[in-house]
Amino acid sequence: MTRTSFSIFDPKLIWPAVVEACRKFSPRAQMRNPVMFVVFVGSILTTILWLQALSGQGEAPAGFILAISLWLWFTVFFANFAEALAEGRSKAQAASLRGMKQSVLARRLHKPVKDGEFIPMTSADLRKGDFFQVNAGETIPADAEVLDGVASVDESAITGESAPVIRESGGDFSSVTGGTRVLSDWLVCRVTANPGEAFLDRMIAMVEGAKRQKTPNEIALTILLVALTIVFLLATVTLLPFSMFSVEVAKAGNPVSVTVLIALLVCLIPTTIGGLLSAIGVAGMGRMMQANVIATSGRAVEAAGDVDVLLLDKTGTITLGNRQASAFLPCSDVSEQELADSAQLASLADETPEGRSIVVLAKQRFNLRDRQLAGDVTHPQPVFVPFTAQTRMSGVDIGLRQVRKGATDAVRGYVEAQGKPFPEEVIRIADEVARRGSTPLVVVDIGRVLGVVELKDIVKGGIKERFAELRRMGIKTVMITGDNKLTAASIAAEAGVDDFLAEATPEAKLKLIRSYQTDGRLVAMTGDGTNDAPALAQADVAVAMNSGTQAAKEAGNMVDLDSNPTKLIEIVEIGKQMLMTRGALTTFSIANDVAKYFAIIPAAFAITYPQLRVLDVMHLTSPSSAILSAVIFNALIIVVLIPLALKGVRYRALGAALLLRRNMLIYGLGGLVVPFIGIKLVDMLLSVTHLA
């Protein structure tokens, strides 16, 4: 998909966010956030108190009450703005997706037969179960499953990848997406989604942050914040009669005003995280979208952050997926170059990745190139023998010379059928290759067995280091493969995974996931085939490949538009980053309330209780300046933290204990120190402004 990049403070996002923030001032919208609803009510009460002060019945100077009231309204506005800005980025992404939707003409077939009778209609008129044909140069009108044909399809509008992909019937690459374009050949397809339910429509709905459901962790944190708010509310309410009683006993000073108590309450409740909590969740969805992953809900993103077991396919995820020739292992009476020469000769017409790698390795090792195979008087026309499932061999015939390469038992049968012995040495070499987790190909030239070509499933560069990072985070990696246990063990050891499941069947995958979940662990896996659907449906985080079958996409709770199996590791990192951001800002929010004790409590009660002046460690200018400085800082800190909430805390592959210590050191200690500095600076600015 062509991704549009939006900076945090892009003017195209700022002004719509300002308008949306104003719309969120409705009581119904504010009630969705209990912490900010308390601030909202406080803003209304201080506004009423200001109006009373204008009429001469105020409990405090009208200017002081007005200043407190305005900054409380600003606090609510900044919280609204943070959420609106996060939602705005998601809505901008959704708008760019809507621009991709188009109505195209379709040939609805009466029967799923190529060039059969059809009715021309628009894509909006197609329904689930309808058949259509699409030819080269045409746009696929709807999400569908290929029933007949093979075609090259341009999916760059969805995935952002310029390279076309092959779509065909009967395999794991039979799913096509509406809006993509056929570049060659033709396809007969069956529609799999009604209008409004297509993949592009689901993408648009998924990135709409405003429709995001609260996740379990977010709900739990909200309950904690509400509990803290209620505690501080009860404590603050009791301060008014306590202050009135103390003043009456002391016969000095005035009781604390309601305006000051409201300011105290707002500063003590966790307004910082309360104002940013929703924005953090919406931004997490947005970061997943930027990674070209569509999550069905915020719950899936959050679960990715809690995952502690990763199930990874070997082919394409841990290994490159194509076996590559890595060594020529000749018999004792054969030179390595002679073996390489014959192996390359047998592979010149082999267009498979394995065959190409043999040709390349022979060129690299012995500079074997520029072979002249065109027939002439002295060199007969070569006849290439393609690989078949029956013979399990391929090669070339040049006159009476027959060169073959293939599986050990297939070549053995070929040699023994000619009445020649098959060397025990070659059997031993082939067994050693198999024990290393590689695939042996035996080469024979005119009935003479020359040796073995070792084909190795190459482990991706850097993947071992990635697994080491996951291990430091406490995440267990499990490789899933259809290989035998010997081969699987060898590759698992080389890749550095913690465990493996060999000879995996759909039932075995499902059983493995359930066993981990029974132990209380969260499991993530990727898949693209119909046989992966049961395991995807069972996994807590299930990432389906966009190139996979419709069944896999429906079973998963995420879809990777790039169809990159290693994306699962990135998804886990994004989920953990969201949890880290939420934890960091919660720590900071609760810690920075401590400084406000030292600012407001001495200002509010020092007249009645002079002993409280010892708490005025910041030596603020006056009680009114102290209270106003705390309220202003409380509002501005939300603005300062908006970029952090949207971008997220920098991800680090650390264990939970180390991460907690680092979190407490940076955001806990920072939350204690920064408010002292900030409130003092605001107080100094207010005093200079007042003097001016």
Residues recognised as catalytic? 313
User: Which contiguous run of DSSP H or E holds residue 398?
Assistant: strand 393-398
Please check if 114 is assigned to a binding site: no
Phi-psi map region of 405: left, alpha, beta (phi>0 left; psi -120 to 50 alpha): beta
Is residue 394 part of an annotated ligand binding site? Answer: yes
47 is in an annotated binding site: no
Is residue 354 part of an annotated ligand binding site?
A: yes
Instruction: Work out whether strand 131-135 and strand 175-176 pair parallel, antiparallel, or are unpaired.
Output: unpaired
**192 a known binding residue?**
no
Q: Helix (H, G, I), strand (E, B), or coil: what is residue 309?
A: strand
Residue 389 in marked binding region: yes
Round to whole Å and give the CA distance between 449 and 329. Answer: 12
Q: What is the SS3 assignment for 531? A: helix
Sequential DSSP letters for 108-153: EESSS-TT--EEEEEGGG--TT-EEEEETTPBP-S-EEEEE-EEEE
Residue ranges of E strands in 208-359: 293-295, 309-313, 319-330
466 labelled binding-site residue: no
Query: How far, in Å, CA of 515 to CA of 309, rounded?
Result: 11
What is the CB neighbour count within 10 angstroms for residue 431? Answer: 12
Report CA dihedral (78, 26, 88, 524) to the nearest 10 degrees.
Answer: 90
Cα–Cα dist 139/104, whole Å: 7
Are 673 and 681 in contact, with CB atoms under 8 Å apart? no
Of 210, 289, 204, 280, which Cα lies nearest the Cα of 20? 210
Give me the DSSP letters along 675-686.
Answer: HHHHHHHHHHHH
- The answer to whether residues 147 and 504 touch, using CB atoms and an 8 Å cutoff, is no
**Of 546, 443, 460, 456, residue with least CA distance to 495:** 460
Torsion of CA 181, 185, 188, 193, to 10 degrees: -10
The rounded radius of gyration (Å) of the Cα atoms in the chain is 34
Are 316 and 565 in contact, with CB atoms under 8 Å apart?
Answer: yes
Q: Are strands 476-480 and 499-501 parallel, antiparallel or unpaired?
A: parallel
Name the 3-class secondary structure at 169. Answer: coil
> Burial, 326: exposed, middle or buried (Cβ in 10 Å; 0-12, 13-18, 19+)?
middle
CA 379 centroid distance within chain = 59
Q: What is the DSSP letter of 692?
A: -
* Residue 390 assigned ligand-binding role: yes
Asked if residues 465 and 569 have their Cβ atoms less than 8 Å apart, the reply is no
Q: Is 388 annotated as a binding residue?
A: yes
The reply to whether 577 sits in an annotated binding site is no
3-state secondary structure of 453: strand
Question: In whole angstroms, what is the distance from residue 246 CA to residue 239 CA?
Answer: 10
Query: Does residue 343 sit in helix, strand or coil?
Result: helix
CA distance 93 to 205: 11
C-alpha–C-alpha distance, residues 25 and 192, integer Å: 42
Structural contact between residues 613 and 606, judged by C-beta atoms closer than 8 angstroms: yes
Q: Residue ranges for the binding site?
A: 350, 354, 387-394, 405, 528, 532
Q: Residue ranges for the binding site for Mg(2+)?
A: 528, 532
Q: Residue ranges for the binding site for ATP?
A: 350, 354, 387-394, 405
